[in-house]
Every structure is written in C-alpha cells, then in structure tokens.
Amino acid sequence: MQIIKEKAALTEVISKLKSKNSSIGFVPTMGALHEGHLSLVRQAATICDVVVVSIFINPTQFDNTTDLDNYPRTLDSDTQKLAELNLNLIIFAPTATELYNNKIESEHFQFDGLEYEMEGKYRNGHFDGVGTVVKKLFEIVEPDKAFFGEKDYQQLQIIKKLVAQHKIPVEVIGCPIYRENNGLARSSRNERLSPKTRLEASFIHETLLKVKDKFGTESANQISQWVEKEFKAHPYFKLEYFEIADSETLKPATNTIASRTFRAFIAVYSENVRLIDNIALNY
C-alpha cells in the first residue's frame, strides 16, 4: 500500500497503471474511517485492479467552522485500518494547499435544483464544496469507477449529475448504507455521541422502517406529521427535517405517482451531533 501526499506523484503512479490497463477504483473520504468506508473499499477492490482512497477533510464543504474544527483527524489509524485490509490500495492524503493550489474556495455549481433540496437548505454552500473537491479529485485520480455510500444519498445524486454535466468518464456506484447492530447508519460523527445516545439512536432507523410500512396507505403529509410528533415526544433527538422525496429529482412527494420511486430522508440533532439517514420506500 502506498501513501501519496502530492498530486504530481499520484498522477505519475496513475499514468503507469493506465499504461498497464489496470482498472482504477476510487473511494473518496474525509478520513475517520469506519466499517462503512471499509465496505466501500472492499466492494471497489472486488471489481477494480487498484483502489485509490483519498483522505482529505475538505474545508469548503463545511458551513460551520466548529464542525470543521471538531471533525476527527485520524490519518495514522485510518492508514492502519486500510493496511489491515491487505488489498491493492493507494492512499491519497493531500494538504488543502496542495489540492486547492493556495486558493481554498468553491466553484459555484447548478445541479438542476438537486442542490436546493433538504441538505442544501440547511447547509449553505455545502454542495458547491463537495462538487469542487470531487471534481478536482476525479481529475487527479482519473478513476474508472467511484464508490459513494447511500447514507449521503443527496450527495450521490449530485455527484452523478456533476459527472453527467461535465462529461467526466467515470462510473459512479452507489453502495448500501452500512448500519451498526442497532440500525444506526455508520458515520464518523457517531463517535461523538455518548454510548447511551448511540444506543438510543436506533430510534431513527426504526422510525424510517415504520415510515416505509405507512407509505402507500397514508399520504406523505400524514406521514410527515406523524414523524414530527414522534420526535417531539423523544427526549434525545431533535428533528431538523423529515421529507419524502422523489428518488431521482429529490423534489418533495406531493402526490405519489405509481411509476416513480420515493425515499424518505431525515436529519436529527443530538448532543450537538447532526445525524442523517434515509430509506427507499417503494423499491
């Protein structure tokens, strides 16, 4: 396993691999690796000759400096976890100056309205930051396939749009949400929850499963009201948003057309930690 910190060094390695027709898989991360990330890396390694894992805490996608400051920085243990996988991996861990060429700012994107829904309403500039860094990383890594978790489903749709709009020659593969034993979606932020709250957080996925049961017999509006009531009564979690939306356009479901597929999305706060999750409803 190689660890590369400079763009030029990575470009050289990638062009050697390409000259040997090796297929390149890519798993972009912000580090603090957990089983969810490792499952993406394993999946990538089953279908690609070499997997590049980037570890880069992207400053431009944080709308909140406290969140950026509190983000765990664990390069040594991340490296150790990846080494233990015993796969053909390259870690790309640039500094912000190296990746952004001294100009640490976002490009402005329009993703056909995907960027204004849900996370876009609550995290100002977030998707411009994600789009900027992922486009830069795609240009350097030149992957054949890139793997993203469905926990950040809106991000996944936006990356697919970015790739289509900019004709980037990469296949974007969405991978199922990796959950803890109690159903909580794996996230680097879970580490910041107290053990008690982390256990209680099974409530989020349990609520989404009940939403799935209700979908089809109750309207999106009725279900949303029910979810709001459930969270109001819960002592641990504060609901930021709940939404049932079209799985492709991410527009809120007003009337559920049988030919479309829908997902439910949720964001909640507990102990100053923001958790998101989602579930497919009719597919």
Query: Which residues in this chain contact ligand PAF in the complex, by CB under 6 A?
Result: 28-30, 58, 61, 130, 133-134, 152, 155
Nearer to ligand PAF, 224 or 278 (CB): 278
Least distance (Å) between residue 148 CB and ligand PAF: 7
Which residues share a beta bridge with 174? 148
Least distance in angstroms from the C-beta of 120 to ligand PAF: 14
Residue 140 — φ and ψ, nearest 5°? -85, -45
Q: Of 152 and 200, which CB lies nearer to ligand PAF in the complex structure? A: 152
DSSP structure string for 49-83 = SEEEEEE---GGG-S-HHHHHHS---HHHHHHHHH
CB of 207 to ligand PAF, least distance (A): 23
Cβ-count burial 246-283 (b if 16+ within 10 Å, e if not): bbeebebbeebeeeeebbbbbbbebeebbbbbbbbbee
CB of 31 to ligand PAF, least distance (A): 9
How far, rounded to the nearest angstrom, does the alpha carbon of residue 162 sit from its chain's CA centroid? 15
Shortest reach from residue 188's CB to ligand PAF, in Å: 8
CA dihedral 200→203→205→206, nearest 10 degrees, is 130
In which residue are the tokens 């930690």 written? 273
**Cα separations (Å) of 283 from 87, 221, 248?**
33, 20, 12
CA distance linking residue 166 with residue 134, whole number of Å: 12
Measured over the CA atoms of residue 119, residue 123, residue 124 and residue 128, the dihedral's sign is negative
Q: Say which amino acid occupies 151.
A: K
Which of residues 66 and 259 has its CB atom nearest to ligand PAF in the complex?
Answer: 66
Pick 40 or 223: Cβ nearer ligand PAF: 40
**Which residue has tokens 């978790």?**
149
Catalytic positions are 37
Our CB check for ligand PAF shows the closer of 175 and 253 to be 175
